[in-house]
Structure 1
Amino acid sequence: MDLVQTVALSAGLAWASGLRLYLVVFLAGVLAHLGYMHLPESLHVLTHPLVMAASGGMALAELVADKVPAFDSLWDSFQTFIRIPAGALLAAFAMGDVDPAWIVAAGLVGGTITAGTHFAKAGSRLAINASPEPFSNWLASFGEEGMVLGGLWAMLASPMVFLGLLAVFLILAGYVIYRLAGLLRRLFGRKAL
């Protein structure tokens, strides 16, 4: 793998982990096992049947949990402690056999990408849950799954295009997080009065 592909793999796994960690681990393992995705030796553990079974089962559980209004936000709150470190580790291990400084840097940047993606997703879903009907929740959930599938495909098909789209996504996620933080400040500011 060349440097652009390696960076795209590292950033892509981190980004997608912020949306659907278990689906990403499952798909990466299955695609690598079938020969459609090249993983560095440090991530070959994802192709182990036990890892694929565990991540597949958790992906199925998340698929259901994420469709239930209010429960999805509870799920996201617990996942904060799982997605972010896992995304950082996936990003770091995706670098393969390189200078340890690159691995640490990839973990730091990857953890930041995962955190930004996760908080934008969780905050958006919290806002969507304010709606009394469940359809917007389901639409958002299926949209997130589609983004993961499309993102992984773009990462494999055209790493440079994926990195460009990732930059746009991260700018939009930063804006969403900024707006949600302002909303929370106003909400809690009013209650304090």
Structure 2
Amino acid sequence: MGIMEIIGIAGSVSLLAGWRLYLCIFATGLAMRFDALPVPENLASLAVLENPWVMGIAGVAAVAEFFADKVMWLDSAWDAVHTFVRPVGGALLALAIVDPSDPATQVVAFLLGGGASLLAHGGKASARAAVNTSPEPVSNIAVSTVEDVATVGLLYLAYEYPYVAGGIALVLLALAIWLLLIARRIIRKLFGAGKPTETG
């Protein structure tokens, strides 16, 4: 696997961790356990990702996140708590995927992975906060389900076809920025509409 494919996978997984961290941890551990991602022998700490306990905890947390994300305002509370968790998790996942023999690549992967996760998390959290302004729960459940399906599908594509992982990362990056801009516009409109008008 070439450096561009590895960077593409690390970028894709980091961005997806901003949406669904625990699912990404579980899937990455599973991919390593079944040799879809090679585990470098000279970095024993990577083995923790495929540890059954880590995978089990990540799986339980992924199920909890799945249900929390379907409940209006509980999803925003969950996102608020995970503002600090997802970027660190995304950075560590990126670090776990790159070649440990090159310290410079590791540092870049850690920083970019954390930044990518934070950006994706910001886009998701902002979009979900905007969706929560709708009084009906159907839109919330629909958006959450799309995120679930997209995360699983894009993780599979990134692992199975490393040469397209870079393209996936670029699409996810553009999507995160677009979500931030859309959410900003909606929130501005809502707060602008709520301001009292001045009377003469």
TM-score, length-scaled by structure 2: 0.86
- 8 Å CA contact retained: 2:22, 2:59: yes
Q: Report the counterpart of residue 146 of structure 1 in structure 2.
A: 149
Moved more, 155-164 or 128-137: 155-164
- 8 Å CA contact retained: 1:40, 1:95: no
SS in 2 for 1:80: coil
Q: Report the counterpart of residue 103 of structure 1 in structure 2.
A: 106
**Aligned partner letter, 1:18:** G
Q: Provide, for residues 74-117 of structure 1, a one-character-per-residue CA deviation record: whole Å limited to 9, x for no partner.
A: 00000111001111121122113232111111111111111111
Tell me how far apart the structure 1 counterparts of residues 108 and 36 of structure 2 sit (CA, whole Å).
27
Root-mean-square deviation (CA, aligned residues, Å) is 2.2
Q: Provide, for residues 50-94 of structure 1, a one-character-per-residue CA deviation record: whole Å limited to 9, x for no partner.
A: 101111111111111111111000000001110011111211221
Bigger Cα Rg? 2
Structure 1, unmatched stretches of 5+, are none
- 8 Å CA contact retained: 2:14, 2:113: yes
Q: Report the counterpart of residue 6 of structure 2 in structure 1.
A: 6
- 8 Å CA contact retained: 2:15, 2:173: no
Match of 2:121 among 118, 123, 126: 118
Higher normalized contact order (CA 8 Å, seq sep 6+, divided by chain length): 2
Tell me how far apart the structure 1 counterparts of residues 127 and 34 of structure 2 sit (CA, whole Å).
35
Match of 2:179 among 163, 176, 181: 176
CA 1:45–1:188 in 2, change beyond 3 Å: closer, same or farther? farther
Indicate yes or no: 2:20 matched with 1:20: yes
Question: Which has a greater percent of helix?
Answer: 1
Q: Report the counterpart of residue 38 of structure 2 in structure 1.
A: 38
**Aligned partner letter, 1:35:** D
- 8 Å CA contact retained: 2:132, 2:140: yes
CA 1:148–1:107 in 2, change beyond 3 Å: closer, same or farther? same
Indicate yes or no: 2:139 matched with 1:136: yes
Deviation at 1:183, TM superposition (A): 4.8
Q: Report the counterpart of residue 70 of structure 2 in structure 1.
A: 67
**Aligned partner letter, 1:100:** P
SS in 1 for 2:136: coil
